[in-house]
Structure 1
Amino acid sequence: MATSAHRGAVLIGQCIAHNTRNAAKVRVKRLIFDSNINMYFPKHKNYYAHDPDRECKTGDIVVIRELPERMSKVVTHSLVKLVYKFGDVTDPITGKKVVVGQYREHMDERDEMFGVAEDGSGGFKYSEAPDRGWQQDKRDFTHKVGYQKWHEFEPGHRFHNDPVAS
């Protein structure tokens, strides 16, 4: 049971996959101190936060706050703010977009200065890319287990038509 000091506490966490309607599942990571070996160990706890607009997607970093009373059996928190969208890394100090340790605008300046390859393969164009999550709710069979055939037995072999053996 949470004490009154913890009521209304603000937590930051990452949204994980969920099927709950009007709620987001948020994993909050904490460091727990082990006094026997004087080390901190990561522990996590999952919370369900009320998100009626469904603005939070898997991988987003969000801020949540505990509700004064539960909305339902599992929903105990509310979504306060979407801090970072997954895939759109932003430098917190300058507010500029970052790609693998470089600012996007510096990459564009470099491409302008030195040009791109003659065949037109100048790398990924971030300005022309669609928003993150553009394939959401599309049926693309990624949820199914893939089948890979490892070996083909020639006709006459005892495992030739056995679906388990190949």
Structure 2
Amino acid sequence: MLQARAAERRKWARRERRALRVRKTVYGTQERPRLSVYRSNAHFYAQIIDDTSGRTLAAASTVMKDVRGQLKNGGNKKAAEAVGLKLAEIAKSKGIAKVVFDRSFFRFHGRVRAFAEGAAKGGLDFLKNPKKKDKAPKAEKPAKTEKPAKAEKAPKEKKPSEGKPKGEKKQG
């Protein structure tokens, strides 16, 4: 019992560290707000947040009546994609086209990825890694010059092995 509880505590500590790592790079502005997601076993939630003012600009989830009516289950990939499409529709109506994606402590696969694909299909422009935006584009490298072909080497001759072959045992 205690081991299980300790393992659960370590799991949540890892999740918190992962979330902090993600949030360190992701910051929502008025021009490009943060798109935050949360998934539970039964539902999927997403909101667009302006971190400068601390306001939620748009939100969608599988709990909403118009999304829930389309779905049998709120905790699968199809539901996450439907939430992505709905959030993109709401964001477009409020004039939001560009967002920074905040996956929190969730890995970018499964339902989180399905949501992101649905939102992108709905018309939201994602910036997945904000750090790459600030870096200047790399200068083009000069074309590589072809090296002259190396002369082929003659195969090495095997030296006759001294003593017994490896497979034989010493007789005695």
TM range (shorter): under 0.3
Q: Which has the larger radius of gyration?
A: 2
Write 1 or 2 for the structure with the bigger share of strand. Answer: 1
Write 1 or 2 for the structure with the bigger share of helix. Answer: 2
Q: TM-score, normalised by structure 2?
A: 0.18
Q: TM-score, normalised by structure 1?
A: 0.18
Q: Which has the higher contact order (CA 8 A, sep 6+)?
A: 2
